[in-house]
Amino acid sequence: MARDIVNFNAGPAGLPTPVLERAQSELLEFEGTHMSIMEHSHRGKAYDAVHHEAMDLTKSLLKVPDTHEVFFMQGGASGMFATVPMNFLSEGRVADYVVTGAWSKKALAEAQFVGEARAAADGRNADGKFVSVPTEWDLTEGAAYVHVTSNNTIFGTQMKSFPKLASPMVADMSSDIMSRPLNVEDFGLIYAGAQKNLGPSGVVLAIIKKDWLQEASTKIPKIFRYKTHVDKQSLFHTPPTFAIYLMRNVMQWIGENGGLEGMQARNAEKAKHLYGAIDESGGFFNCPVDKEARSHMNVVWRLPSEDLEKRFIAEAAEAGMVGLKGHRDVGGIRASVYNAVEVAGVQRLVSFMSDFKSKNG
């Protein structure tokens, strides 16, 4: 059955159709084993190959240097908000957080349960809105780490580049991982929940600098120590095997579609169409985000009234475009255009916007 729908959900989000078709064709019978991959032991040969391929693909797509290691965690990105300080915020140290949106605020709040953590920058404007990414950071000398959020899923802002810092930089890349090439060596830790760009929910992809890992706390339960998972190649306990299998398939799909350069070009094209439609609407559509901070993953905009916004969302859904309602904290419209959303899907939305404006503008 054709999937004649464009999925603009913020996460869990749409997956590439070929990835789902492959999963469907392999669901009952994985590689001649008469079993589903879900039914295989996480210690068996069939799953082991998938598991290590997922790690190897992460390394090759992101060009992860030998100084860093890939591992998988559970508990979502929110789990990482807690385990980052548990591992690295020891007594007497301070962690700096660059607050650029709702998720970085949550990350900071979790760190403050564990130790001393502060906002080194706060991107809110006079109206309390995050419409830009601050570039001036008031960093603590000798900070345990500096935490950033590369893309703000709710407000639609994105860091376009990353500085080289003296302290280890920790980045929550949940909503733009593998959407563009990255210099992994600039980071102490990168983490991302899979459910936007990489697969289904249930697994977090993480990349850590090996040297820094040696400094992590051993006074926390084993399950929360990153070292446990790195040492055991993410097989310390039962990993979310089906989620990792799907993530591997998504990464293969990324590889077949031009790798991260390919994703970047495709995402830039989608962003150009969408922001173009907004900026050329004579103010009917209005994106509040500063031009240089506009996200290529989550595009947000407003209409002249909330009534029109409701109608826009309802009529778009009738026309097969779903998931366009802005986050409840900000309202308006949000189109999440992660890797799997095709250029043609965005063009369909742009032409819907133009029709909607003609009828209601």
Instruction: Give contact residues for ligand PMP (rule: CB under 6 A).
Output: 11, 76-78, 103, 149, 153, 172, 174-175, 193
Please indicate whether residue 196 is annotated as part of the active site.
Answer: yes
As measured in angstroms, the least distance from the Cβ of 116 to ligand PMP is 22
CA distance 62 to 60: 6
As measured in angstroms, the least distance from the Cβ of 174 to ligand PMP is 4
- Going 327 to 331 to 337 to 342, the CA torsion angle's sign is positive
As measured in angstroms, the least distance from the Cβ of 188 to ligand PMP is 17
Q: Which is nearer to ligand PMP, 149 or 179 (CB)?
A: 149
Q: Which of 96, 103, 212, 325 is catalytic?
A: 103
Residue with the CB atom nearest ligand PMP in the bound state: 76
Please indicate whether residue 172 is annotated as part of the active site.
Answer: yes
Q: Which of 96, 176, 196, 270 is catalytic?
A: 196
Q: Which is nearer to ligand PMP, 40 or 180 (CB)?
A: 180
CA distance 167 to 149: 16
HSE-CB at 165 with a 13 A cutoff on CA atoms is 28
| Closest by Cα among 261, 288, 297 to 103 | 297
Distances (CA, A) of 249 to 15, 17, 223: 10, 11, 27
Q: Which is nearer to ligand PMP, 76 or 361 (CB)?
A: 76
Buried/exposed 73-111: b ≥16 CB within 10 Å, e otherwise: bbbbbbbbbbbbbbbbbeeebbbbbbbbbbbbbbbbebb
Q: Which is nearer to ligand PMP, 81 or 352 (CB)?
A: 81
As measured in angstroms, the least distance from the Cβ of 103 to ligand PMP is 4
Q: Which is nearer to ligand PMP, 152 or 241 (CB)?
A: 152
As measured in angstroms, the least distance from the Cβ of 63 to ligand PMP is 23
Q: Which of 59, 138, 164, 172 is catalytic?
A: 172
CA distance 4 to 6: 7
CA distance 157 to 160: 9
Prior bond of 12 cis (ω within 30°): yes
Please indicate whether residue 253 is annotated as part of the active site.
Answer: no
CA distance 174 to 77: 7
CA distance 27 to 35: 8
- Catalytic residue numbers? 103, 172, 196
